[in-house]
């Protein structure tokens, strides 16, 4: 598929740009946090550095087939997953303007991190 067509499948929900925690020994899936990548514009839900993201944000992953088919880093309601599997049972709904940028969060403080878990997110990746 041409790159331009592929990009159009993204719904620009911004959910994949939320930080996540792997709590699988306790929970059934990766949990999403009310914390977003510092490069996300929460009003437009667009990445501020999109063209250069892999150089400027080394933790950023391309949403490729491996991520779409085999990871729980994106919700089932991601446009790419819905393109393949159809509509999600539990669409991810997040008020991004009520999330905070990762550079304002103390990731060493487990209480702070636990308080930022989006509990509904355990139902976002069930395929």
List interacting residues with ligand SF4 (CB under 6 A).
10-17, 37, 39-40, 47, 49, 53, 57, 60, 63, 74, 78-80
Minimum distance from residue 13 beta carbon to ligand SF4 (Å): 4
Q: Can you tell me the distance from the alpha carbon of 93 to that of 24, in angstroms, rounded to the nearest whole number?
A: 22
Nearer to ligand SF4, 25 or 71 (CB): 71
DSSP character string of 76-115: TTSHHHHHHH-S-SS-----GGGSEEGGGS-TT-HHHHHH
**Least distance CB 88 / ligand SF4 (angstroms):** 11
For ligand SF4, the closer CB: 25 or 95: 95
Q: Would you say 104 or 111 has its CB closer to ligand SF4?
A: 104
Output the smallest distance, CB 87 to ligand SF4, in A: 13
As measured in angstroms, the least distance from the Cβ of 40 to ligand SF4 is: 4
Q: What are phi and psi of 87, to 5 degrees?
A: -60, 145
Q: Which helix (H) or strand (E) holds 5?
A: helix 3-9
Taking alpha carbons only, the member of 19, 63, 20, 64 closest to residue 39 is 19
């Amino acid at each position: 598929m041409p790159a331009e067509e592929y990009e159009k499948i993204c719904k620009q929900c911004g959910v994949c740009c939320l930080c996540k925690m792997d709590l699988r020994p306790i929970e059934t899936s990766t949990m999403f946090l009310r914390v977003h990548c510092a490069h996300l514009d929460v009003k437009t839900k667009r990445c501020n550095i999109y063209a250069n993201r892999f150089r400027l944000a080394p933790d950023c992953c391309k949403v490729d087939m491996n991520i779409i088919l085999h990871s729980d880093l994106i919700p089932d309601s991601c446009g790419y997953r819905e393109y393949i599997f159809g509509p999600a049972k539990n669409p991810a709904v997040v008020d991004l303007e009520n999330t905070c940028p990762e550079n304002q969060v103390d990731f060493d403080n487990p209480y702070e991190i636990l308080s930022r878990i989006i509990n509904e997110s355990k139902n976002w990746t069930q395929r």
